[in-house]
Structure 1
Amino acid sequence: MKKVLIINGHQHYDGVAEGNLTNDLIKCAKTFFEKNDFEVKFTYVDKSYDIEEEKEKLVWADYIFFQYPVYWMGLPWITKKYFDEVLTSGIHYANDGRSREDKSKKYGSGGLLSGKYMLSLTYNCPTSEFSNKDGYFDGLSLDEANISTHKIFQFLGLEAMKTYSIHDIFKGDMDLEKELIRLEGVLKENFL
């Protein structure tokens, strides 16, 4: 049986970021994984978590589904704290890959985990800001604008899958059912 760890990287802010959209996306992913015979474990970083248990989950998982809202162009601080605490707590998921004996070994190539990960992102900005030389992100693609998150997983030895993102979340005209269908399509593409 394939094993997936769903990480909920949402950080709650009253009136602004209640977590409802993140919860809807995670519920859709959970349903998809269970329907397709995945064993599923969860982490919700804004609730309490046990660092030792989190280390075990990362080693256990074949896949990671990581859903988070992009706050101020990056991870919510509580989610960055989660990675800092779990990944620097004494177990070595990776070394930096370099070797005194073999100069061809490159920094960041020493990941000790295997498997794949998928980012699922919620944004207030429109999709038109990405891959647009005149856009806010200066021509960067969605994945390039989230390079620091990708590099966390790459350093661990995990391989990226297609990213899902939803945009203009505060605009008021989002069709949630359409977005959940689109998410399920990305999940099928990545996991089946």
Structure 2
Amino acid sequence: MKIGLFFGSFNPIHIGHLIIADTMATDTDIDRVWFVVSPQNPFKKNNSLLHEFDRLTLVERAIAENYRLQASDIEFSLPKPSYTIDTLTVLSDKYPQHEFVLIMGEDNLVQFKNWKNYEKILEFFRIYVYPRPDTPPHDFTDHPRIKFIQAPLLDISATYIRKRIQEHREIKYLVTEPVEALIRLKKFYE
């Protein structure tokens, strides 16, 4: 089975993430998309990061009705910060029956050369890239291991959603109803 790995903090997961994942699962040769919840991204500060298990629960709630989507806590047991190459290696060893494809936004290609062992990622894994607004030029436009996927161009950020929550403003339509209900119940991000 071909599994697309969608890495992220998902702090919180929102409809932009879901639309990208569903597009990958329905419009490409990917069979399933796994949301890999990252406890700590080496490129981001975690000052407003909700606990990893709470973020995993939000992802599980958001995707509960879509059999093509799955949440993964694989990075919870790995050293922090999480490096994509290490997670890809662990997953490949644990699930040799699957072919793994990395899903990323085009904005990440700009800094991809800064990733740990990015050459090894390109050597052993394919990367499916979705468009992101205002992405500057990068060196990977014609790389044979990188495939650009037509997907809706949505400029929704978790930062924006967290800010709205802190301001006691509406987040309806930015996240799914089950995600919003849990955020409100647990007073996440307030």
TM-score normalised by L of structure 2 = 0.39
- When Rg is computed on C-alpha atoms for both structures, the one with the higher figure is 1
Structure ranking higher on relative contact order (CA contacts 8 Å, 6+ apart) = 2
TM-score normalised by L of structure 1 = 0.39
